[in-house]
Structure 1
Amino acid sequence: MKHTKHSTPPRPRGHGRGPAHGIGRTLALVLPVVLVLSGTLAVTRVNWTGSPSSSVLAAASEELSPRTATRAPQDLLRDRLLLELQEKDPGVALTDLQRAVNGRPSLAKHCVSIARALGRAAVRLYGPSRAQSYARPVCDTSFASGVAAQHR
């Protein structure tokens, strides 16, 4: 029996997968994260107290949750700055950290750990290179060391 060879050229690898496939894969990976973050941020920004307030988070933490009211000031500051980092950028959060420490010197001993937490969060949100671009001498180089620690 004679073996016949077909004249159909071989299909290139990834045939039929154009730029839309790459975009679809990226969306499949990124979209759940974006939805979780935006849903979480939307819930934390809702004014559940019924009273107009410029700081909805502060109002909610003081009026609605006795457990939150017993949290240490540095924990409240860290959480507020992490939220600010997500909503704005690490530079704004670092500036506010410096202002908080200047205004309340008792927070100075927690500045390093808060700045490191901001550095780790910045890497998760922006990647190591972009996160490092926000580094400044707040609490020495703690933000930068947080970026470096998260990148390893």
Structure 2
Amino acid sequence: MGRTLALVLPVVLVLSGTLAVATVPWSRSGSSGSVLAASAEKASSRPASRAPQDVLRDQLLLELQEKDAGVALTHLQEAVNGRPSLARHCASIARALGRAAVNKYGPSRAQSFSRPVCDTSFATGVAGVGGQG
């Protein structure tokens, strides 16, 4: 009896599972297009995940506009100290802050915010924009 049950039970489970899947609406050919379109719509509406350094740069640029360059530079240093993986992006973020500071304050005033955050990258950003205009 046990051996018969051991042989018959898997067959019954496979058949019942196959029948259950066959009766699900998405398995029918008529409605599969709408299900695929709906899932593609969901996939395309998701925002692409952004790299942490891009998020940080955007936050700091906003902070520079709302407050001042000194606050943004302080928060850049804190972010790099708290998350060492951001250190390799520190210079490019600081240069972007330097360029934004020139746009907000002008070259002379922007230079007054210069600090030794990420070496002299902020000053390089200031000088790069300041020398052009």
Assess same fold via TM > 0.5: yes
Q: Which structure's relative contact order is higher, taking Cα pairs within 8 Å and 6+ residues apart?
A: 2
In 1, Cα distance between the equivalents of 2:70 and 2:46? Answer: 31
Does the alignment pair 1:77 with 2:56? yes
Within 5 A, what are the aligned runs for 1:2-151?
66-67=46-47, 70-151=49-130
**Structure having the larger proportion of residues in helix:** 2
Computed over aligned residues only, the root mean square deviation of the Cα atoms, in angstroms, reads 1.1
Runs of 4+ aligned structure 1 residues displaced above 4 Å come to: none
Larger Rg: 2
TM (norm. structure 1) is: 0.56
In 2, Cα distance between the equivalents of 1:95 and 1:87? Answer: 15
Distance 1:103 1:66, change over 3 A: farther
Deviations 1:20-78 (A, max 9, x none): xxxxxxxxxxxxxxxxxxxxxxxxxxxxxxxxxxxxxxxxxxxxx8425x010000000
In 2, Cα distance between the equivalents of 1:121 and 1:94? Answer: 12
In 2, Cα distance between the equivalents of 1:102 and 1:66? Answer: 31
Number of aligned residues: 87
- Report sequence identity in percent: 77
Extract unaligned runs of 5+ from structure 1.
1-64
In 1, Cα distance between the equivalents of 2:65 and 2:100? Answer: 9
Following superposition, the deviation at residue 112 of structure 1 comes to 0.1
2:47 is aligned with what amino acid? R
In 2, Cα distance between the equivalents of 1:94 and 1:105? Answer: 16
TM (norm. structure 2) is: 0.64
